[in-house]
Structure formats: C-alpha cells, structure tokens
Amino acid sequence: MFVGHYGPALAGKTIAKSVPLWAFFLAVQFVDVLWGIFIANGIEHVRIVPGFTEANPLDLYDMPITHSLPGALGWSVLAGLAWMVLAPRQKRAGALAIGLAVFSHWLLDLVVHVPDLELWPGGMRVGFGLWNNYPVALAVEFGVLLGGFVLYLRMTEAKGLIGRIWPWVFMALLALAEFANHAAPIPEDMEMAGYMGTATFLVLTALAGICDLTRKTR
C-alpha cells in the first residue's frame, strides 16, 4: 500500500488537533522510511521477482525490524513517546494520535501484502494478499485516502483562496504518485531504490506541511 496510508494521516486531527499534518504524514510512513534506509544498507532485504503480485514485483522476504508485528508496535510506542516529549501541548492526545498513525501502516499493509508480515521475528507470516488483485487493492487504497480527506476537510478551514485549492491539488499529486509508482520500471539498484523511496515519503511529508500553512483547524 502507498497512498492509502495517508488516509489515517489526513484523519489524524480528529484525535489531536494540535498535531500538524506533516507529522501525521511522516508517522504513517515511518516504518517505510526506515525500510528504505535499511534496504539501501543491507539491513533488511527484498527480491525482485517479475509478476510476484499484480501490484508490484517485490518479494519482501526479510523485514523483521520494520514490518514484523513487534517491530511495528515498538516503532509506534517510540514515536508516540518522542512526540509526548517534544509536543508543546496536547501531549497525551498527540502521542496517542502519532502512535496510532505509525501502527496504522502495519494494519493497512496486512490487507494488501501477501503473507510476509511476521507476527514475531522468524515466526508465522500473515497478509491477506489483496495485491494479487490490483484493481481491488487500488480501490481500497483510494477509498481509505478519500475517507481521511473528507475528515480533514471537516476538521479544517481555508485561510484563503490557496487554502481552498491546495488540498485538491495535493490529492491530485498523491493520485499521480500512486500511478507513477505502479508504472515505474523494475529497479535494478536496490540501494538507490531504497533511498529514492525514503526521499519520496519525505517530499510528500513536506507537501503536506503546506496544508498547515494554508488551512487552520476549526
């Protein structure tokens, strides 16, 4: 799953209004940001198998630190505690919202991944395998994204004309990113692919920050 992860990020202000949208965008992709770095440096591993699923050719056979259930829970708790320390207000609500945002990544991955998510490192692997039916997986992704977008619009209001336009432009950019990601050629250099993936998540996080500049919480 790619852009579907941003549905919970957009809905995050329903739990903690003071948490900026960029923080939610970083939180929901935090384990994939780490995954990209770990893949690039040989800490976790992936195989390229053309036709492995309809959605992508990635055989994610080794990612116990980022995508096992204990790993996801650990990163969620760590991110929540970090936010509690750093947040100027709504410390508990913000920590809860950030922690849930991080863990939402594992829950949504569970829906689309083939069984490659370990319930414990080296243990049973789970995944409902929706990536084997890409049109349905895509519909689920955009359904989750649009649900979060509706909640975000309800929780915020535009400061001006740009604030009314930018969220829709941003949604269009996310849609383009999803289709570009699916149509991209099979990577040959996994080190470069790992860093490019991490860079993509950070760019989208920065673009999400624009929404905080153009809109305000109701």
Is 192 within the bounds of a domain? yes
Q: Give the range of the structural domain holding residue 132, as residue numbers without chain letter.
A: 3-213
How far is the C-alpha of 141 from the C-alpha of 174, rounded, in Å? Answer: 11
Is 12 within the bounds of a domain? yes
Alpha helices in the chain (DSSP H): 6-11, 21-28, 30-40, 64-67, 69-86, 91-112, 134-155, 161-183, 190-214
Is 218 within the bounds of a domain? no
The upper half-sphere exposure of residue 108, i.e. CA atoms within 13 Å in the direction of its Cβ, equals 27
> What's the confidence (pLDDT) of residue 102?
98
Give tens-digit pLDDT for 150-165. 999 999 999 999 999 9
> What's the confidence (pLDDT) of residue 85?
93
Q: How many domains does the chain have?
A: 1
Is 42 within the bounds of a domain? yes
Q: Is the pLDDT of residue 187 over 90?
A: no
How far is the C-alpha of 114 from the C-alpha of 138, rounded, in Å? Answer: 15
Name the CA radius of gyration of the chain, rounded: 17
> What's the confidence (pLDDT) of residue 89?
83
Is 123 within the bounds of a domain? yes
Residue 1: band (very low, low, confident or very high) from pLDDT cuts 50, 70, 90? confident
Give tens-digit pLDDT for 99-152. 999 999 999 999 999 999 999 988 999 999 999 999 999 999 999 999 999 999
Give tens-digit pLDDT for 4-52. 999 999 999 999 999 999 999 999 999 999 999 999 999 999 999 988 9
> What's the confidence (pLDDT) of residue 95?
96
- Which two tokens mark 127? 């995944």
Sign of the torsion angle spanned by Cα atoms 33, 34, 35, 36: positive
Which amino acid would we find at residue 216? K
Residue 181: band (very low, low, confident or very high) from pLDDT cuts 50, 70, 90? confident
Q: pTM for the complete prediction? A: 0.95
